[in-house]
Amino acid sequence: MIPWIDGTAPFPPVESALRRPNGLLCAGGDLSPERLLEAYRHGIFPWFSEGEPILWWSPDPRMVLFPEELKISRSLAKTLRRGHYEIRLDTAFPAVIRECSLPRPGQDGTWITSEMQQAYVRLHELGHAHSVETWIDGKLAGGLYGMAIGRAFYGESMFSRITDASKIALAHLARYLERHGFAVIDCQMKTAHLASLGAREIRRRELVRGLETWTREGQGPGKWPRDGAKNLFGVDNT
């Protein structure tokens, strides 16, 4: 059994999360900005399907990408050098999260419910949630969105309409974060896609210990500059 939280009740300690399923911590609460910010500061995130109560997770181990450890394959490096795309920040957040919510092949539904979309759009309006967008020929070809608190970025989801469009966005995100003094990208769950880009697993306690410091450092919330991530790989991506 997991605890149920109501109102402003605090989250239980992350150490009490289940091992199976890995990281399930508690249920209940809401998706208010205050609740979500408190969750992320402690290494907790929401993940549930339509019709389920809000479920909160903190898996151990935890997949993270340290920006300076980004790995770029030869094929991706070639794509970045070609520069046939444009990178924009925070210009189409609702469109990015909507694209991320579409079921993948073989999936029946999505965890990015309409309730989740509304919550993160509100966080974007408050300057906490951000989108990194890959535009090709004037069309949104791929991208990602996530949360920034202090020097920590929390990746939520990504999508591609064109091959490598999400990898392009992640590469620019990592370089942008590195240049702005961010310490970590919390990738949450292990995937081969993220591992190929340099993400690795660490113990949850290491992440939580780091977040205690990182979330209190750096800049406060605010919209990222549209062209803030261009020309990071020797090409003027405009």
Predicted confidence (pLDDT) per residue in 83-139, tens digit: 899 999 999 999 999 999 998 766 666 789 999 999 999 999 999 999 999 999 999
Q: Establish if 202 belongs to a structural domain.
A: yes
Predicted confidence (pLDDT) per residue in 29-88, tens digit: 999 999 999 999 999 999 999 889 999 999 999 999 999 999 999 999 999 999 899 999
Q: Establish if 220 belongs to a structural domain.
A: no
pLDDT at site 118 = 98
Judge whether 169 and 144 are in contact, CB under 8 Å.
yes
d(CA 189, CA 191): 6
Q: How many domains in the chain?
A: 2
Point out the domain boundary residue: 29, 59, 89: 59
Predicted confidence (pLDDT) per residue in 160-176, tens digit: 999 999 999 999 999 99
Q: Establish if 167 belongs to a structural domain.
A: yes
**Can you give the CATH number for the domain in which 26 is found?**
3.30.70.3550
Is 145 a residue whose pLDDT tops 80? yes
The candidate with the shortest Cα–Cα distance to 204, out of 184, 230, 218, is 184
* Reported pTM: 0.95
- Within this chain, do residues 96 and 109 fall inside the same structural domain, yes or no? yes
